[in-house]
Homo-oligomer: A and B are copies of this chain.
Amino acid sequence: MPSASASTIVFEQPCPIRDVLDRIGDQWSLLVLEALAQRTKRFNELHREIGDVSRQMLSRTLKRLEEDGFVSRTVYAEVPPRVEYALTDLGRSFLGPMQQLVEWADANHWAICQARLQARAKQRN
């Protein structure tokens, strides 16, 4: 358990869900987690697989996921360099709730689109 002084820093987030949303609410984190759910992967492997993401954003995303303990980064002292990314236990434990979310999104995507169309139609009147 954290000490009293540490806890004042650690718990400055008033709402736990913010930690999670700040991490997965961005453009790429979820796609990265999904890609790593299968197995450990390398940087350019992820880059090819996700496709749309720039190296810049993939790098930032991985760094934040690593900082927050979702992903581990292992560097092998080789030439050319090899870096492997994998889910941590924390990251794997997140796959469950995440999958629920993804399934809901798949099932209700069209309903959301319909609602948007109706809202826009109403606005034009």
**Interface of A toward B, CB cutoff 8 Å:** 2, 6-7, 9-11, 13, 15-17, 19-21, 23-26, 30-31, 66-69, 90, 93-94, 96-97, 100-106, 108-120
Q: A10-B117, A101-B101, A104-B97 are in contact. Are A25 and B21 (CB under 8 A)?
A: yes
A109–B90 Cα distance when bound, in Å, is: 10
Expressed in whole angstroms, the minimum distance between the Cβ of A13 and any Cβ of chain B is: 7
A26–B113 Cα distance when bound, in Å, is: 19
Pick the contact of A25 from B19, B24, B66 — CB < 8 Å? Answer: B24
A26–B7 Cα distance when bound, in Å, is: 23
User: A-side binding surface: helix, strand, loop or mixed?
Assistant: helix
Residues of B within 8 A of A109 (CB): 13, 16, 19
Pick the contact of A93 from B13, B90, B108, B118 — CB < 8 Å? Answer: B108
